[in-house]
Amino acid sequence: MEVRVMPTQPLAIARTPFAPFRSPEPSASDEIRLVGVAKSFGRDQAIYAEGDAADFVYKVISGAVRTFRVLADGRRQISDFYLPGDVFGVELDGERRSGAEAICETVLLVARRSAVAEDPAQGQRLWRHALRQLRRSQDQALTLGRRSASERVASFLLDLAQRLGSGDELELPMSRQDMADYLGLTIETVSRTVTQMQGGGLIRLAGCRRVQLTRPAALTELCE
């Protein structure tokens, strides 16, 4: 895992463990407080790989991250995407069960796992964080197991729009391939579904990454 120290962070903060960077919003009751250093990752750069030691936890400062598992023959399932403010990399034991990569230029706050997991003041927050992740994973299982391609794409766009908090306008940080591997589809099916939604007036595209949800209610209805 090769990592470049982020050039835009003051160096004193980025490299001294004794005057560390602190995650914001310490007052929000569910906000996990991480104390660590900022690190910067390039597009498609690995943050950790399956099987690595799980010594650190991360918070996204800017950019976006995917976590994923791959089968022996290369089929990939993206477990989740992480956006600014999200915490990821908390594992049950000392070994990574999935890989993590930066989707685009990304800055992360990196904290020692031990400092987080052994802090009794964080116990409740870690528990609730795990339960939130679980809820998301179960939502995804419902989507993967029982929804059609257009329902999958619709629920994905709505979820992302809500998390980005940008109203009905959103900038996709990930490629069609990433979307496909999250939704259990192929890149072609995602592409066809998106153009079909555009044809139906549900969304408008300005370049393939910029999406406007013109009829969000119709999208919601698609998800039932």
- Interface residues with DNA (CB under 7 A) are 148-150, 175-177, 184-192, 194-195, 205, 207-209
Task: Pick between residue 12 and residue 72 the one whose CB is nearest to DNA.
Answer: 72
Can residue 155 be called a binding residue for a copy of itself (CB under 8 A)? no
Using the contact rule CB under 8 A, the part of the chain among 14-22, 46-54, 116-124, 166-174 near a copy of itself is 116-124
29-35 LR contacts (CB < 8 Å, sep 24+): 29/125, 30/125, 30/128, 30/129, 31/125, 32/59, 32/87, 32/116, 32/122, 32/125, 32/126, 32/129, 33/122, 33/125, 34/58, 34/59, 34/87, 34/109, 34/111, 34/116, 35/111, 35/115
Residue 25 interacting partner from DNA, a copy of itself, none (CB closer than 5 to 8 Å by kind): none
Q: What angle is formed at CA 177 by the lines to CA 75 and CA 52, rounded to 5 degrees? A: 55
Task: Pick between residue 138 and residue 177 the one whose CB is nearest to DNA.
Answer: 177
Task: Pick between residue 19 and residue 72 the one whose CB is nearest to a copy of itself.
Answer: 72
Q: Tell how far CA 26 is from the center of its chain.
A: 21
State the nearest-atom distance from the C-beta of 132 to a copy of itself, in Å. 6
State the nearest-atom distance from the C-beta of 67 to DNA, in Å. 19
Cα 108 to Cα 145: distance, rounded to the nearest angstrom: 32
- And the tokens for 40? 């910067």
Can residue 60 be called a binding residue for a copy of itself (CB under 8 A)? no
For a copy of itself, the binding residue among 4, 15, 43, 97 (CB under 8 A) is 97
Task: Pick between residue 90 and residue 187 the one whose CB is nearest to DNA.
Answer: 187
Residue 164 interacting partner from a copy of itself, DNA, none (CB closer than 5 to 8 Å by kind): none
Contacts for 149 with CB less than 8 Å, ≥ 6 apart: 183, 185, 189, 190, 193
Cα 156 to Cα 13: distance, rounded to the nearest angstrom: 36
| Residues lying near a copy of itself in the complex (CB under 8 A) | 69, 71-73, 75-77, 79, 90-92, 97-98, 120, 123-124, 126-128, 130-135, 137-138, 140-142, 144-147, 181, 183-184, 224
